[in-house]
């Protein structure tokens, strides 16, 4: 079996899973080495599940190793409505109310390049479609070349800058579900 194929992708439901999601989200923020305060990340972490709650048509996912159940990756979706830049009512012809945003995709460094991130994103796409979303968007940075290759390989296309990002080299992606 290839590395990463035996990893389980689970929805965050228990307090220990929530703690693991937070731990990995903080590790992601440290690894990224960018100031994301403009996204309200401190409030987001303090109020999890918050915008990612399932009763809000959101979800938080964990990738866990079969031996010991160690969590090694995260992904989440939330409704885009209310998070987009002022004046944006649709993206590629789809109303913002029918679009979700993919957030917090991260695999810890020692487990990267084994397809775990791709599995997390595929599961997020599947759940988004089950929720009835018609599209998914995400923002990322040009310098995250491996992640960007993955998004293109999964069918994402570049789109308008639907949210404010003051960082250098932002990219915006769109996927019709």
d(CA 93, CA 104): 26
pTM for the predicted model, two decimal places:
0.92
pLDDT (tens place) for every residue of the chain, 177 residues total: 445 568 999 999 999 999 999 999 888 777 776 666 666 677 888 889 999 999 999 999 999 998 878 999 999 999 999 888 889 999 999 999 999 999 999 999 888 888 999 999 999 999 999 999 999 999 999 888 989 999 999 999 999 999 888 778 899 999 999
d(CA 65, CA 10): 11
Q: Which of 54, 53, 74, 56 is nearest to 10 (CA)?
A: 74
| The pair of three-digit structure tokens given for residue 8, joined into one six-digit string | 């389980």
59 contacts 77 by C-beta, under 8 angstroms: yes
Strand 170-176 relative to strand 135-141: parallel, antiparallel, unpaired? Answer: antiparallel
């Amino acid at each position: 079996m290839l590395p990463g194929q035996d990893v389980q992708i689970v929805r965050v439901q228990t307090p220990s899973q929530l703690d693991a999601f937070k731990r990995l989200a903080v590790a992601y923020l440290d690894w990224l080495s960018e100031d994301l305060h403009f996204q309200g990340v401190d409030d987001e972490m303090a109020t999890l599940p918050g915008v990612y709650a399932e009763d809000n048509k959101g979800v938080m996912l964990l990738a866990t190793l079969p031996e010991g159940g160690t969590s090694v990756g995260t992904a989440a979706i939330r409704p885009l409505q209310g998070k987009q830049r002022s004046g944006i009512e649709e993206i590629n012809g789809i109303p913002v109310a029918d679009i979700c945003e993919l957030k917090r995709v991260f695999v810890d460094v020692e487990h990267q390049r084994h397809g775990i991130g791709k599995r997390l994103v595929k599961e997020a796409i599947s759940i988004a479609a089950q929720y009835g979303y018609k599209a998914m968007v995400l923002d990322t940075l040009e310098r995250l070349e491996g992640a960007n290759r993955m998004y293109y390989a999964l069918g994402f296309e570049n789109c308008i800058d639907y949210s404010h990002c003051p960082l250098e080299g932002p990219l915006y992606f769109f996927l019709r579900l």
